[in-house]
Amino acid sequence: MGYKDQLRTSRRVLMGPGPSDVHPRVLQAMAMPLVGHLDPEFVTIMDEIKEMVQLTFQTKNNLTFVVSAPGSAGMETCLVNLLEPGDEAIICVHGVFGGRMADIAGRCGATVTTVEAPWGEAINPQQVKDALKGKKPKLVAIVHAETSTGVLQPLEEISQIVKESGALFVVDAVTSYCGTPLKVDEWGIDAIYSGTQKCLSAPPGLSPVSFSERAVKALDNRKTKVQSWFLDLSMVKNYWAGAKRTYHHTAPVSAMYALREAYRIVLEEGLEKRYARHIANHQLLKRELEALGFEFVVKEGFRLPMLNAVKLPEGVDDAAVRARLLNEYNIEVGGGLGQFAGKIWRVGLMGESSQPNYVHALAAALKEILK
């Protein structure tokens, strides 16, 4: 197909680490006519989105909004606003995305201490306690759902340890948000970010974030300018939360339409029902894949229901089988990242892609391919 032809994309069954499928209502919302990014209608849409971000994060934080860029920009927003040169940060690393947080914290000029667990395992709260001994870091950051390994990280005990130390608690919820329980206020999370293309099932390119009063106080007490102009919350917050909306950047209007509809779908289903659906489909996938000789990387109790990391059966060629799934069956699954590259698959059951039909389609295709 050349650029002179009208665009036609394939209808894939998206079962990778993101993006997930979106509901037809979301695509329809994206097609609504554009309005200006300071139009009263659009400001109302921003207010509605903010309210739904608060409901889904389970927070009353006033500084709750959506960054006009994907989840990695949400990560950067949290770290560049809270860290200044010379600050201390403890970053928990149990996969690619913890490593990315440590990299960004270092670029902020912070002194970074990492707390590490082997890939496929969760961080032990005692490790965080030990790392805090004799230290007074500005923040402790951790990934709730490590997309590279399939680990669901328990947060409540670590949050309590961090709170007792006086540090801010920063959480990456890119893959867990709207797919597994996440209680920002109850769990004492001070700064959190996510992405729209996982369990929220909106197009990629936006990042919901929320900051506690303690985090806002740290922002207000900065001695230096935030190193990123675009992500500087002292300016962005006047666009999202000011009494008089101040121009900061041109928001992606159509993407916001889509996000609003995706949130409506989440809240219509209800968070608890949505969590239960993700677990039920994870269990179905587990039965089907284990019957075909796949093994889960992560031990029971720490597995992500929406992102399933599995070792391939002996003799199965990772790239060749994934290519056949895509080319012959239109099914996308994800390969491994980093030290897991070529060794595991990451099978996504996120949001609209968390359906029994998808699991059965994948199992049927694999039975044919692996015969």
Q: In angstroms, rounded to a whole number, what is the distance separating the alpha carbons of residues 65 and 11?
A: 32
Judge whether 13-19+272-369 and 24-267 match in fold.
no
Tens digits of residue pLDDT in 13-41: 999 999 999 999 999 999 999 999 999 99
Give every CB contact of residue 176 below 8 A, 6+ residues apart in sequence. Answer: 144, 145, 152, 182, 194, 199, 304, 306
Q: What is the CATH number of domain 13-19+272-369?
A: 3.90.1150.10
Q: Decide if pLDDT at 256 tops 90.
A: yes
How many other CB atoms are found less than 10 A from the CB of residue 273?
10
Domain boundaries, the chain: 13-19+272-369, 24-267
Confidence of residue 246 (pLDDT cuts 50, 70, 90): confident
Q: Which helix (H) or strand (E) holds 340?
A: none
3-class secondary-structure state, position 176: coil
Q: Which of 369, 367, 350, 371 is nearest to 13 (CA)?
A: 350
CA distance 18 to 347: 10
Percent of the chain with pLDDT over 70: 100
* Each residue's pLDDT tens digit, 108-132: 999 999 999 999 999 999 999 999 9
CATH class assigned to 24-267: alpha beta
Phi/psi for 50 (5° steps) reads -55, -45
Q: What is the DSSP letter of 315?
A: T
Task: Write down the pLDDT at residue 1.
Answer: 63
Q: Specify whether the backbone of 58 is left (phi greater than 0), alpha (psi in -120 to 50) or beta.
A: left
Q: Are 101 and 143 in contact (CB under 8 A)?
A: yes
CA distances from 255 to 32, 198, 258, 280, 303 (A): 11, 15, 5, 30, 31
State the average pLDDT over residues 322-339.
Answer: 97
Cβ(346)–Cβ(147) under 8 Å? yes
Task: Look over the chain and give the mean of its residue pLDDT values, rounded to a whole number.
Answer: 97
pLDDT in tens, 157-199: 999 999 999 999 999 999 999 999 999 999 999 999 999 999 9
Among 158-162, 244-248, 258-262, the least confident range: 244-248
Section 274-278 average pLDDT:
98
Is residue 25 classed as helix, strand or coil in its secondary structure?
A: helix
Instruction: Return d(Cα 67, Cα 76) in angstroms, integer.
Output: 10
Q: What are phi and psi of 328, to 5 degrees?
A: -100, -30
Output phi, psi for 322, to 5 deg. Answer: -65, -35
pLDDT range class, residue 247, cuts 50, 70, 90: confident
Phi-psi region of 341 (alpha: psi -120 to 50; beta: other; left: phi over 0): beta
Q: In sequence order, which residues have a C-beta less than 8 Å from that of residue 338 and are 6 or more positions away?
A: 95, 96, 119, 148
**pLDDT score of 243:** 73
DSSP annotation of 96: H
pTM (2 decimals)? 0.97
**pLDDT-derived band at 200, boundaries 50, 70, 90:** very high
Which residue matches tokens 């339409």? 257
Q: Are 329 and 200 in contact (CB under 8 A)?
A: no
pLDDT at 2 (0 to 100) = 86
Work out the pLDDT band at 210, boundaries 50, 70, 90: very high
pLDDT of residue 204: 97
